[in-house]
Structure 1
Amino acid sequence: MFNLRAPERRSPYPTWMHKMVNIVNQGIMPGMMGGQGQLALNQLLVTMDGIDNPPFFRRFFTNRINTFLDSIYIVPRRVGRVGLRLPKPRPLGAQIYFIGATNVPFERLDPALTRPGRMGRHVWFRTPTKDDRKDIFELYLGKVAHAPDLDSPERRDEIARITNGYSPAMIEQICSMALTNAHHEGQTAFTWQHLVDAMTVIESGTAIGVKYTPRETRAVAIHEAGHATTAHAYRPEIESSRLSIRMRGGSLGHHQFFDREERFSSWQSEEAGDLIHTVGSMAAEHVFYGENSVGVSGDLGQATARAATMVGVWGMAPKPLDLDGYDDEAREKIEKRLQTIGMRLMNRTRGSADFHADPVASVLQDRYKTQVAAQFLGQAFVTAYVFVLHNKDKVGQVASAVEEKKEIFGDDLNRLLDSVGLEKPAIDWTKEETWPRM
């Protein structure tokens, strides 16, 4: 009964946006409102095709008058060249545009709707650039009470950098959420800390109020420091924005980063750096504890997918190792050892052999591709291991800092990573101490 009496909630979006949602009918099972979507599409297409017809009442009255004149048999249809019937009504001269908007993938829209002659012109809206985000923050921060230090050019630049990929709606939400948090604490204006806390909630979820044991706190800090330090050394194209050991969304901690510049492609060397960054957490655990925790499952799944994609989709292969002075037998032995480590790290929980359904699992069905992907993984892990081992005290300093503060943001994090003086060591693949005990 309540459902019958309760009024329908009004949406802030225009009505035409609601109708466009029903048009996205491809790929939807019939039991998931797919039938209604098809009906809505058909009705829209009929309306679009009939827009050139004359108005209904003009057609109605013209037809009735001409029928009446025909039925009385008095007025002839024409006298000479002069017609004695009302002319056929013409369409209105108004220019009518059909405009729709959707945030679903374009390929899921019905081709009957997007073909030339209907909605044939397509416009994609991108997320704001850094300068755009500065302007948007200027707009929203001007509407809410905030600390004066947020108006400094340095702070505004930092805010614009660490919000890479944010939409205008997300920027508005973090400003609103930051002010709400400030009011909750009895303050009339929000500070930098309120703003970054709101960003963290938007990106990673609300922090869960759990307390780690001292040993677990240190282990999580080491894990995340492994990510941050390897990224700082081997991924110059990115910038760290947050290092946290607070539980959010089922994760004990996280390392957040963003691209320094907006790019749409990458090179093999950059993808290899991404692998080192991903397995850097497990390498740090092996350096400090001699074993790894269960917290590396997500990292290994991501690294496996990356390596398989590099091999099976992008046609990449590991570069030859620098082994001057050693014969092919020694090189083959080292590569075999890297493959063995990579096979141990590889996540093999995906069982599909259908490339389109699961391209990663399909690639790993091929024995040769699996060996090459394993070599990518093994080489990345050994590189990360040697790096953390060489910089063990410095990685420990980063871990201690995040252990104390729980979360470090923006420029504070980058100044910390710069201050410890991380070094990329040369790797001698022939020395036994280079290899982790696994």
Structure 2
Amino acid sequence: MVASIPPDDQFTRWKSEYQSAILVSLASLAGERMFFDGDNSSGVSGDLESATTIASLMEGHWGMGSTISSHVSNRRFEMGAPGGGKGKDDTEKQMRMALSDRIEENLGSLLTQAEEILRENRNQVLALAHALETYKTMSGEDVAAVIEGVKGSIVDGRPYLDPNFLAEIEKYHSASVVAHREHRIPDVHLPVIG
């Protein structure tokens, strides 16, 4: 019997959903590197672990990678082992290295995609960073308001469409990057709306 199942009741997820989850995780690394001249903090470690775990399962178990075979089955049946598994240690090492290379290739490709998304949306990212520095905590509705340049429940996102205000935010960001590099406080104050 075939039936429509609401998304909340589904037990499986699609490759595209996992790729989106990885993109979200890799955006922290891509963003820090992009906005801080190639530098990044250790704060991205949890996101990288999550991205690597999902990419590993996609590549080795779920048939969502560049190969079709299951890494688990290959290990269980010693497939690809010359001499019926007599060179087991070397074969397992080669399989792990090949799997690791495919995972890294997938992560690298998705990192490049995350960088492109951030580059294309630079103004919105800087606007959102400014709003977070200003308001400290924001609802999803207010995040959307800043990105879309509309009035939210608390935050008015309309000023973030003003090219002059965006130029002030960019100037503040540039000063913050210099201050980060020189381990000091920025010499430009956070721009104030209005």
Q: TM-score range by the shorter chain?
A: 0.5 to 0.7
1:119-268 maps to which residues of 2 (within 5 A)?
261-262=7-8, 263-268=10-15
2:133 aligned with 1:395: no
- Counterpart pick for 1:275 among 9, 16, 22: 22
Residues 1:383 and 1:318: Cα distance change in structure 2 (over 3 Å)? farther
Contact persistence 2:32–2:40 (CA under 8 A): yes
- Counterpart pick for 1:308 among 56, 66, 81: 56
Task: Report deviation, 1:415.
Answer: 2.7
1:413 corresponding residue in structure 2: 143
Task: Report deviation, 1:292.
Answer: 1.0
Provide the rounded CA distance (Å) in 2 between the counterparts of 1:303 and 1:266: 15
Provide the rounded CA distance (Å) in 2 between the counterparts of 1:292 and 1:317: 28
Residues 1:312 and 1:401: Cα distance change in structure 2 (over 3 Å)? same
2:108 corresponding residue in structure 1: 378
Task: Report deviation, 1:363.
Answer: 11
Deviations 1:224-275 (A, max 9, x none): xxxxxxxxxxxxxxxxxxxxxxxxxxxxxxxxxxxx9414321111211111
Deviations 1:315-364 (A, max 9, x none): 21259xxxxxxxxxxxxxxxxxxxxxxxxxxxxxxxxxx99xxxxxx999
Deviations 1:126-171 (A, max 9, x none): xxxxxxxxxxxxxxxxxxxxxxxxxxxxxxxxxxxxxxxxxxxxxx
TM-score using structure 1 length: 0.26
Q: Which portions of structure 1, spanning 4 or more consecutive aligned residues, are displaced by more than 6 angstroms?
A: 362-365
* Structure index of larger Rg: 1
- Counterpart pick for 2:97 among 367, 376, 380: 367
Deviations 1:276-316 (A, max 9, x none): 11110110111111221111111111111111011111021
Q: Percent identity between the aligned chains?
A: 30
Provide the rounded CA distance (Å) in 1 between the counterparts of 2:116 and 2:94: 27
Provide the rounded CA distance (Å) in 2 between the counterparts of 1:413 and 1:276: 19
1:298 corresponding residue in structure 2: 46
- Counterpart pick for 1:285 among 32, 44, 54: 32
Task: Report deviation, 1:372.
Answer: 1.4
TM-score using structure 2 length: 0.55
Provide the rounded CA distance (Å) in 2 between the counterparts of 1:363 and 1:311: 17
Unaligned runs of at least 5 residues, structure 2: 1-5, 68-74, 77-91, 150-159, 162-194
Equivalent pairs, count: 122
Contact persistence 1:304–1:377 (CA under 8 A): yes
Task: Report deviation, 1:397.
Answer: 0.4
Deviations 1:191-212 (A, max 9, x none): xxxxxxxxxxxxxxxxxxxxxx
Contact persistence 1:311–1:373 (CA under 8 A): yes
Q: Give 3-state SS (helix, strand or coil) of 1:286's partner.
A: helix
Contact persistence 2:22–2:54 (CA under 8 A): yes
CA RMSD of aligned residues (A): 3.0
Query: Which residue identity is paired with 1:303?
Result: A
1:40 corresponding residue in structure 2: none
Query: Which residue identity is paired with 1:305?
Result: T
Residues 1:392 and 1:363: Cα distance change in structure 2 (over 3 Å)? farther
Unaligned runs of at least 5 residues, structure 1: 1-259, 320-353, 356-361, 422-438
Contact persistence 1:318–1:375 (CA under 8 A): no
